Structure 1
Amino acid sequence: MDTLKVGIVGAGGIAAQHGIAWNTNAPRGEIVAVADISEPRAHAFADRFTGGKAKTYDGIESLLEDPAVGAVDICLPHHLHTPAILAAAKAGKAILCEKPLCTSLEDAATLDAALKASGARFVMAHNQLFQPSLVEARRLLAAGALGRPYFYRSVEAFQNRGALAATPSTLPPGESPWAWRNDPARMGGGEVLDTGWHATYRMLALANDRPVEVQAMTERFFLPDVAAEDTGVLLVRFASGAIGELVSSWAFAAVGNRHFEVMGEHGSLAGGGAELLHQLHAWPDPVARPFAPVHSFTAEVTHFLDVVQNDAPSLAPFETGARVLQLTLAAYRSVAEKRTMILPENPLEAGHPAA
């Protein structure tokens, strides 16, 4: 099997987890290039993860001209996802893209057309799909362990003190890893679009069902400089009639962060971290299933390699990213208009108010 040679696009905060993941997957994958607007940051990443062997570039355009690069791993601020995906698709590279997909459904439609025209492989970087408790919960649900599911709950919450911290001395003023998140033009939303994205795709993976309605409330409790919300609660109805609740926040650390629950006809599941609880209605006590921890980014890159090298079906295709974006943007409109939003079957169509 040929090694898939990847270029990392964006060497900021989250890129370090991707660097670990690619190195762990060697020799199937190898980092051969790094692009970042900051030359020192690109060199620092190349030194740390490739011993200085990877070539460094000041942008994706020059990186894509490198004939050694067969795939790109996009780790950029939200507003830069669309141009980066378009450039990579035009160049025919396989694409792994951090969340969110992009910041508007208009952009999503443009990306959909470009990816279909190019035939480029595309996978969303939905690392929490590989959380062992979630993998096992999905297996049990597919086997009918709960009968008909009635209710889903997904939580992604931590108190984001990093956003309040001073810019590290190694960075120029205003270049804190969190600084761009305070700019609506670059962020595209608030916490619900950012780390809340994890809670959303987690719920959609558990439900394996199409969301058809959403109601939402948001608030800024803890982070005064964030232009949008730092906390969101969404109520979702699925096509089957099941109901879901999403809780995401940078204001508080919920007990059981990255926690999920499924309640159904025959019993319930609750998981997060390294444990899954399985409770049947006839049992007096739940059964606890412990799991060894995994580096979910490493599992994510392994999956990307399987998609590109072995033609495996993607667990996080473009359509999933579009569906999460549709739901999130409809939730924002629900907040603005204080009403329930209906979600069209086509994920590239915007939600509209209920009659």
Structure 2
Amino acid sequence: MKKYQPNSSYYPDDKDLLDFFHTARPSTRNIKKHLARSGIFISKRADKADAYLASADIDLSWESCIALSNIVPDRVSNKKWTSISFETDEDFSVIRDILNASCTSHDSTKDNISFHGSGNVLDIDVDYTEPDLSQTRLFQQVPKHSQVEVSKTDNGFQIRRTVDSKSNELVSKFEMKIKSEVEKSSKKLIRESILLTELKSAEARINFFFSLMDELEGFDYLDLISVKVSNMDSELPEDDDDETDEEKELSELIKSKIAKADFSGKGLRSDPQIKQFLEQGYFISSATWVVEAKDANWGRVEIHCGFMDESDSQIFEYKVPSLRPRNLDEYEPKRSPNPFEQRQISDILIKRAKEVYSEIKNQ
């Protein structure tokens, strides 16, 4: 166990510990309360999380991090996320400077943008307000929160964001600025994303979900909670989330068939009813299922992912609604994952989704 030392190269080698502080960022008030419960009282002069932890003169173990993360109010836990990756030979420090300048020059007077993080993980929080359209008589503003995370990858960087119009606006601005600056230095910038429109057949699209559910690294498939079915030739408006009667019928059919078959796809595709629906252009557009971690203490984890239309493009979205830790009694309620757990599980999901997408696309 190593002592927490802010802004020090001696910071623990355990990357998980570092990622926790980048992702969860517990407030100083919550840290103070948590330590007080353990009989550790911090000077009121300490006004930053680093100062609180340093003046406490304690060691932060993995268990301490989890305990702290559970008291962090997560404003984005119920939101879906999406991500895009960029392959580039530009140095990540340059990307960081571009993002910092872009945040500083953001022209919206209604947005409060905070830019923080260090090393290979950057976090951008946006607090803003929107009119409450449910209040017809009174014009009221509702506080909103969006989050963008930028992290270095082996061949470039990845941008994750909550699925909402504000983060989409901000990331679009980032992308344009990064592209402009990188092109000036004659360096490459290749955008990589999961586009369902690139999978031309209903069978390919349904196999994407079968492979993702069955072959998620570190997890065993347990149960399918729900699926949503769409049609490749649908003329419904993009914002219409209601399923037709046929789509509801197929959703229930696929759910019942999966419960009785493996994910090889042979039994499902050869089924007369499934085959008929596939020939008519129906495919899975989203799914929610339960997996069990093989080694980690997460236990049973609920996962959701799917595709949505936004600005005439297909966006892959995902979230981890709940988990039941392995050490909990079977009858204890499941809980929402903390920000650190959300990040770790989401990274595993995204990695596998990219692999499956590439395999099916190149067939």
TM range (shorter): under 0.3
Name which structure has the greater RCO, CA cutoff 8 Å, separation 6+.
Answer: 1
Q: Which has the larger radius of gyration?
A: 2
- TM-score, scaled to structure 1: 0.28
- TM-score, scaled to structure 2: 0.27
